[in-house]
Amino acid sequence: MSAETEPLLSVRGLTKHFPVRDGLRAKGAVRAVDGLDFDVRPGETLGLVGESGCGKTTTGRMLVRLLEPTAGSITFAGRDITRAGRRDLRGLRQDLQIIFQDPYASLNPRHTVGRIVAMPLQVNGITPPGGVRKRVQELLELVGLNPEHYNRYPHEFSGGQRQRVGIARALALEPRLVVADEPVSALDVSIQAQVINLLRDLQRDLDLAFVFIAHDLAVIRHFCHRVAVMYLGRIVEIGDRDDIYRRPQHPYTRALLSAVPDVATLGPAGRIRLTGDVPTPLDPPSGCRFRTRCWKATDRCATEEPALVTRDGGNQLTACHHPESGPMEVSK
């Protein structure tokens, strides 16, 4: 994938603050997402990782415009969609879809599978050639479900099957980019692999771009071309998959990777254990947000916020005053 390709999705300074009120007075804001910049090229898969509460789900919701950004801009296929109204979004909705985390909450229990998958077609008034039913059955087949199950209800399916229904629904409008919000973390490990493989096949066959949100670095590694690591509403490191996994520069990325058994050996450094809790996004630390848990933190980290910049002129950007340079001790 060449770097010159025009990005499909371009995010600049994306911010979401949730106001916290005490009675009628504003008491501050939860800074869930605080200034993100990233691009996704056509057909590319960007992984968004971080601990729970780091703002990755909020980011995904903003991308598909389920949440209004507080600041920043989202450009999709050359159009600024940050403030687009419902009517303007019509065409956009077709190109940008979302797969949800919880396969039990994401399907309307009162609708048959057929109706659920047909919903995006129906609300957009689209009648595909050959009829809605035919298209829905094609979609069901595409995601590995039996098209005969058209008239069944969600409660008659397993978690993995339900997630396939959710995927079929997201694909109904033939989108160009799909936001997958932890699509497998609610599933059994054995089922996770099947769903991931399905998503990878679909990505390849349909040339889909993905923003793949997960807290699990192993899943991301199997699926993504590029990876962005988030901490407390910020991207701390972003780069090509191999760079991130082989030569992580940010201490936080290292700590995350060291916790994944099949990525790092338990060499001399062993597993890096992070101490302390994630600080509250109501009042994040000054300077570098990770400094309160970082073993390399200095005074500079408390006063000066590190910029997200490349160290070696490549594609890997890191926001750290004291980046690591050596490779991670990788066994494979």
**Residues at the interface with another protein (CB under 8 A):** 61, 64-66, 86, 89-90, 93, 97-98, 100-102, 105-113, 116, 119-120, 122-124, 144-146, 148-153, 155-156, 158, 160-161, 164, 166, 169, 173, 189-194, 196-198, 216, 218-219, 222
Q: Which CB atom, from 175 or from 239, has the smaller least distance to another protein?
A: 175
DSSP bridge partners of 309: 318
Could you give the angle at which helices 159-171 and 132-142 cross, rounded to 10 degrees?
Answer: 130
Q: Which CB atom, from 172 or from 294, has the smaller least distance to another protein?
A: 172
Shortest distance in whole angstroms from residue 306 CB to another protein: 32
Q: Which CB atom, from 26 or from 189, has the smaller least distance to another protein?
A: 189
Shortest distance in whole angstroms from residue 142 CB to another protein: 12
- At 313, give phi and psi (nearest 5°): 80, 0
Shortest distance in whole angstroms from residue 165 CB to another protein: 11
Alpha helix (H) ranges present in the chain?
Answer: 56-63, 86-95, 113-123, 132-142, 159-171, 189-206, 217-223, 241-246, 251-258, 299-303
Q: Counting runs of H as helices and runs of E as strands, what totals does the chain give?
A: 10, 12
Shortest distance in whole angstroms from residue 58 CB to another protein: 13
Q: DSSP for 10-48?
A: EEEEEEEEEEEEETTEEEEEEEEEEEEEEEE-TT-EEEE
Shortest distance in whole angstroms from residue 237 CB to another protein: 22
**From CA 258, how far away is CA 326, in angstroms rounded?**
14
Shortest distance in whole angstroms from residue 272 CB to another protein: 20
Q: Which CB atom, from 197 or from 315, has the smaller least distance to another protein?
A: 197
Q: Which CB atom, from 175 or from 251, has the smaller least distance to another protein?
A: 175
Tokens of 319: 């926001």
Q: Assess contact for 28 and 282: CB atoms under 8 A.
A: yes
Residue-wise burial string across 106-134, b where 16 or more C-beta atoms lie within 10 A, e elsewhere: bbeeeebbbbbbbebbeeeeeebeeebee
**Edge-first strand listing for the sheet containing 25-40:** 25-40, 9-22, 71-76, 79-80
Q: Output the CA torsion sign for 177, 217, 52, 184.
A: positive
Q: Which CB atom, from 120 or from 323, has the smaller least distance to another protein?
A: 120
Shortest distance in whole angstroms from residue 297 CB to another protein: 32
**From CA 114, how far away is CA 64, in angstroms rounded?**
23
Q: Which CB atom, from 127 or from 197, has the smaller least distance to another protein?
A: 197
Shortest distance in whole angstroms from residue 136 CB to another protein: 14
Shortest distance in whole angstroms from residue 298 CB to another protein: 36
Q: List Cα–Cα distances, 327 to 201, 264, 316, 331, in angstroms.
A: 31, 11, 14, 11
Q: Which CB atom, from 149 or from 246, has the smaller least distance to another protein?
A: 149
Q: How many CB atoms lie within 10 A of CB 89?
A: 14
Q: Which CB atom, from 194 or from 292, has the smaller least distance to another protein?
A: 194
